[in-house]
Amino acid sequence: MTPSKLAAAANISAELADKWAAPLTAAMDKFAINTPRRQAQFIAQIAHESGGFKQLTENLNYSAQGLASTWPGRFSTGTGPNELAREIARNPEKIANAAYGLRMGNNAQGDGWRYRGRGLIQLTGKANYQSATAAIGAPLVEQPDLVAEPAMAAMTAAWFWSKNGLNALADSGDTRAVTKRINGGTTGLDDRLARYVRAEKVLLS
């Protein structure tokens, strides 16, 4: 995909398109995201997930109330933030370790922070970094920050896409179904759909 085509499809600047065109093309080629409809859906979803290809590392700078709302089972008393939430509020490293520790393959001290969400579709947890490493062949477990770089951010997003059967859903044109597979719900559906309509129009022209 050329930078100019990506800029138009994703509604991003020429500078961002120059940065992302080659990594996205390589990733889409590897995982058979190879029709206008598949590519439009992929671009729309990853653009939404990454704030327009700008946010590649999970923002964990939560307030105590934010922690209670996001992870009520861990950080809420049922009526408000618990003591742990108040203790670790606004400390992203402590939040990551408290939220993600001892799950998703995060068994060693500090793994929650080490394997926090990165990439265009955020890769989270050591087990997922291990699976992506096996599929892609890059040392993501040893060097997790690679996932926040364009090449691996694009490749891990395309791997996630393929692993979760999203080409088939994209073929159906069902943005709601694709969104639910990625998000677990329909958060941001209107934005995702608008991005998809734009990208598909560009890529079919």
What's the pLDDT at 111? 98
Pick the CATH number of 3-56+143-204 from 3.30.70, 1.10.530, 1.10.3470, 1.10.10: 1.10.530
- Report the pLDDT value the prediction gives residue 14, as an integer from 0 to 100: 98
- According to the model, what pLDDT value does residue 99 have? 96
The pTM assigned to this predicted structure is: 0.93
- HSE-up of residue 12 (Cα within 13 Å, Cβ side): 26
pLDDT tier for residue 90 given thresholds of 50, 70 and 90: very high
Give mean pLDDT, residues 90-98.
98
Mean pLDDT over all residues of the chain?
97
Confidence at residue 15, expressed as pLDDT on a 0 to 100 scale: 98
For the chain, helix (H) and strand (E) counts, in that order, are 13, 0
Q: Which helix (H) or strand (E) holds 38?
A: helix 36-49
Tens digit of pLDDT for each residue in 106-144? Answer: 999 999 999 999 999 999 999 999 999 999 999 999 999
Q: State residue 76 phi and psi, 5-degree precision.
A: -125, 145
Residue 189: the pLDDT is: 97
Average pLDDT over residues 77-92: 97
Contacts of 51 (CB under 8 A, 6+ apart): none
As a whole number of angstroms, the distance between CA 127 and CA 111 comes to: 11
Report pLDDT for 193. 97
For residue 94, give both structure tokens.
């402590």
Alpha-helical regions (H) of 101-149 = 111-114, 126-136
- pLDDT for 142 equals 98
**Tokens standing for 20?**
């992302």
Closest to 57 measured CA to CA, from 149, 160, 181, 189:
149
- Domain residue extents for the chain: 3-56+143-204, 64-116
Q: Is residue 6 within 8 Å of 12, Cβ to Cβ?
A: yes
pLDDT band of 7, cuts 50, 70, 90: very high
Backbone region of residue 137 per phi and psi (left: phi > 0; alpha: psi in -120 to 50; beta: other values):
left
